[in-house]
Amino acid sequence: MTKTIEITKSLCLANFKGRKENGHKGNFGKVLIIAGSDIYPGAGVMAAYGALRSGVGIVTLALPDVLKGLLPFNLSPEIILRYFPSKNGGFSFSLSQAVGLCSNYDSILVGCGWGKSQSRLECLNNISQACETSLIFDADALNIIAENNAYEILDSCKSKTIITPHIGEFTRLLKQSFLDIELENILELAKNFALKHKTIVVQKSASTIVTDSKEHYICNTHNSGLAKGGSGDLLAGLIAGLVASKQCKNNLFAANLGVYLHSQAGLEAKKLYTESGMTIANVAELIPTAWKEFI
C-alpha cells in the first residue's frame, strides 16, 4: 500500500520560503482567475477571496460579460475585474483572445462556476494552448474534460498543472461510479492519474490527498462545516495564489500549504460558529488567523 505523509504545520514550514521584507507587489506574483457564469456568479468571487489571502501581489478576476453590472454582492476593492465574451451565459472566446488574456500571469485558475457547454470546452482548450504558466483546473473545467473525454487538454499543456477535484469530479474523471470506489483506493487512483497526466492531484474530501505521483500527502483534519458550496472555490483560489506568489519550495508544497491553511481556517470557523452555523465566507475571513498561527 502507498504510504502518505501527513500535512502538518512543521511539514509546511520546512518547505516555506517566506517573503522579502523589502519586497513590492511585483515580487509576490500575479494570479488570474477565469471563473463564473450566469448560473454560478459567485464562484469566481469566492476563489478570489482565497487568492487575496494567499500573499500574492495581484489578483485579477475574469468574468463572462453576461455578468457585467449584475453581481449581487460587492467585490473586495483589491480585485482587478475584467470581462470577456460570453455565449449561453458563460465564456466563449477564441485562441487569440485566450493568448491575450493569459499573458503575464504567474498562475491561472480555470473552471470555478463555469457551467458546461460546447463553447466552454472550446475556451478550456484555447486556454490550455495559450497558457505558459502554472494552470490550476477546478470544478467544471474537470467536468468538461470528463464529459468530453478531452484528457488531451491536460496532457498537452505547456505549463505545470494542478487539478483540484472533489470526490464526485474525480470519479467522473476516472469514469467510475462513486459507489464502485473504495475509499482506501483513492490514493492509488490519485497517484496513477497524476502519473498518467503529469499533474498534481489535490483530491478534496473529508481527508484530502495531495500527490504528484512520487510524493503523497494527506490532511486528516475532518470538519463537516467545510462540506458546503464555495469551499472548493476558496481552496482552489488559495492554492492558485500560493503558486503565483512562489512562497513555497514548489507547486506541490504550495498545494500542501493551501490545504493546511484552508483546514486550519475551517477549524477556527468551527470554534466560533459551529459546523452547522459556519459559512465558507467565515472561513475566508479566518485565513489570516490561520496564517498568523502558521508563521
Q: Report pLDDT for 52.
A: 97
Using alpha carbons, select from 229, 194, 230, 226 the residue that is nearest to residue 210. 194
Q: What is the pLDDT along the chain (295 residues), one digit of tens a residue?
A: 578 999 999 999 999 999 988 989 989 999 999 999 999 999 999 999 999 999 999 999 999 999 998 886 778 899 999 999 999 999 999 999 999 999 999 999 999 999 998 999 999 999 999 999 999 999 999 999 999 999 999 999 988 999 999 999 999 999 987 766 766 689 999 999 999 999 999 999 999 999 999 999 999 999 999 999 999 999 999 999 999 999 999 999 999 999 999 999 999 999 999 999 999 999 999 999 999 999 9
Q: Domain total for the chain?
A: 1
**Gap between the Cα atoms of 169 and 20, Å rounded:** 38
Q: Domain of 63: which CATH number? A: 3.40.1190.20
**Gap between the Cα atoms of 84 and 93, Å rounded:** 7
* Global confidence as pTM: 0.97
Q: Report pLDDT for 3.
A: 84
What are the residue ranges of helices labelled H in 156-250?
167-174, 186-197, 231-245
Q: Which domain holds residue 65?
A: 5-16+23-294
240: its cell numbers: 492558485
